[in-house]
Structure 1
C-alpha cells in the first residue's frame, strides 16, 4: 500500500483522514439518533438541545486547543490561524465536550447522567476516523515512532513505525465488546458505561502517546498525556463513588 491514500473531491486532492473523519462523525450521529429514538429515557427538548450544544461547542473548542498545545512553542512563536483551525485531537474533544455537557446540564438543572447513549456511536465514529489516520500515514501527526517491533510498518517513509491507529482500532473494538457485555447485565447505574469508557480510553491514550512523536511539556509527558491524567483522576474518583454505592453492604443496608 502506498501512503498517503488520497481522494479526488471536486477536482482537489484530499487526504484520507478528513474524509474518514467526516464520514465517521456522520455515521456516528445517525447511529446516536437511532439509539435515542429507541431509548426509554426521554429528555425534554430544552435539555436535549442544551446538552447537544454544550457537547458540540466543548468538543470543537477543546479539540483545537489541546491539538495546538501539543506543540505550544510553534503555536505562540508563529501563530497561524489556518494551522490552528486544522489541528485537532480527539482527546481534547472528549475532555472539553465533557465539560460542555456538565456546564449545559447545570444551566437547565438536569442532574442525571446522559452519557451512556453516546458511547457506542462515539466508538464507531472513532474507529472510522482512525482508519483515515492510518491511511494518511506520516503526512499528519497521527503516526508512531520508529520501531523494530514485529508490528512495525512502513507508513510513507523508509522507517518501520508503530501503526498506532491500528492499535487504537483494536483497543476500541475490544472495549466495545466489554462495555456491551457490562451494559447487558443491567446492574450498574446510569452513566457507568460512559464513565468506564472515558476512564479506559484516556488510560489507553496516556500509554499510547509514549510511542508517538510529541513535544515534552512536563518531564517526558506531552500535552495530551497531561490532559489524560486529569480526566483519569476525575473519573477514578467518580467510579470509586459508584462502587461504594453499589457494594453489597450498602445495597443490603
Structure 2
C-alpha cells in the first residue's frame, strides 16, 4: 500500500484523514439518533438541545485548543489561523465536550447522566476516523515512532513505525465488546458505561502517546498525556462513588 491514500473530490486531491473523519462523524451521529429513537428514556427538548449544544461547542473548542497546545511554542511564535483551525485531537474534544455538557446541564437544571447513549456511536465514529489516520501515514501527526517491533509498518518514509491508529482500532473494538457485556448486566446506574469508557479510553491514550512523536512539556509527558491524567483522576473518583442498582 502506498501512503498517503488520497481521494479526488470535485477536482481536488484530499487526504484520507478528513474524509474518514467526516464520514465517522456522520455515521456516528446517525447511529446516535437511531439509538435515541429506540431508547425508553426520553429527555425534554430543552435538555436535549442544551446537552447537544454544550457537547458540540466544548468538543470543537477543546479539540483545537489541545491539538494546538501539543506544540505551544509553534502556536505562540508563529500563529497561523489556518494551522490552528486544522489541528485537532479527540482527547481535547472528549475532555472539553464533557465540560460543555456538564455546564449545559447546570444551566437547565438537569442532574441525571446523559452519556451512556453516546458511547457506542462515539466509539464507532473514532474507529472510522482512525482508519483515515492510518491511511494518511506520516502526512499528518497521527503516526507512531520508529520501531523494530513485529507490528512495525512502512507508513510513507524509510522507517518501520508503530501503526498506532491500528492499535487504537483494535483497543476500541475490544472495549466495545466489554462495555456491551457490562451494559447488558443492567445493575449499574445511568452514566456508568460512559464513565467507564472515558476512564478506559484516556488511560489507553496516556500510554499510547509514549510511542507517538510528542513535545515533552513536564518530565517526559506531552500535552495530551497531561490532559489524560486530569480526566483519569476525575473518573476514578466518579467511579469510586458508583453503586450498583441492587445495592443498599
Q: Are 2:124 and 1:124 aligned? A: yes
Alignment of 1:18-29 (within 5 A): 18-29=18-29
Offset of 1:247 from its aligned partner?
9.5
SS at match of 1:61: helix
SS at match of 2:7: strand
Aligned partner of 1:238 in structure 2 is 238
Alignment of 1:63-74 (within 5 A): 63-74=63-74
Question: What is the CA–CA distance in structure 1 between the aligned matches of 2:35 and 2:146, rounded to whole Å?
Answer: 41
RMSD, aligned α-carbons: 0.9
Q: Are 2:159 and 1:159 aligned? A: yes
Alignment of 1:52-201 (within 5 A): 52-201=52-201
SS at match of 2:241: helix
Question: What is the CA–CA distance in structure 1 between the aligned matches of 2:51 and 2:150, rounded to whole Å?
Answer: 44
Aligned partner of 2:43 in structure 1 is 43
Question: What is the CA–CA distance in structure 2 between the aligned matches of 1:192 and 1:204, rounded to whole Å?
Answer: 18
Deviations 1:54-84 (A, max 9, x none): 0000000000000000000000000000000
Question: What is the CA–CA distance in structure 1 between the aligned matches of 2:18 and 2:110, rounded to whole Å?
Answer: 35
Aligned residues: 248
Deviations 1:194-232 (A, max 9, x none): 000000000000000000000001000000000000000
Deviations 1:2-34 (A, max 9, x none): 000000011000000000000000000000000
Tell me the TM-score normalized by structure 1.
0.97
Question: What is the CA–CA distance in structure 2 between the aligned matches of 1:246 and 1:233, rounded to whole Å?
Answer: 21
Contact 2:66/2:224, CA 8 A, preserved across alignment = yes
Contact 2:188/2:245, CA 8 A, preserved across alignment = no
Offset of 1:246 from its aligned partner?
3.4
Contact 2:5/2:16, CA 8 A, preserved across alignment = yes
Question: What is the CA–CA distance in structure 2 between the aligned matches of 1:236 and 1:9, rounded to whole Å?
Answer: 45
Deviations 1:71-107 (A, max 9, x none): 0000000000000000000000000000000000000
SS at match of 2:30: helix
SS at match of 2:79: coil
SS at match of 2:149: coil
- 5+ residue gaps, structure 1, are none
- 5+ residue gaps, structure 2, are none
Question: What is the CA–CA distance in structure 1 between the aligned matches of 2:215 and 2:10, rounded to whole Å?
Answer: 36
Q: Are 2:17 and 1:14 aligned? A: no
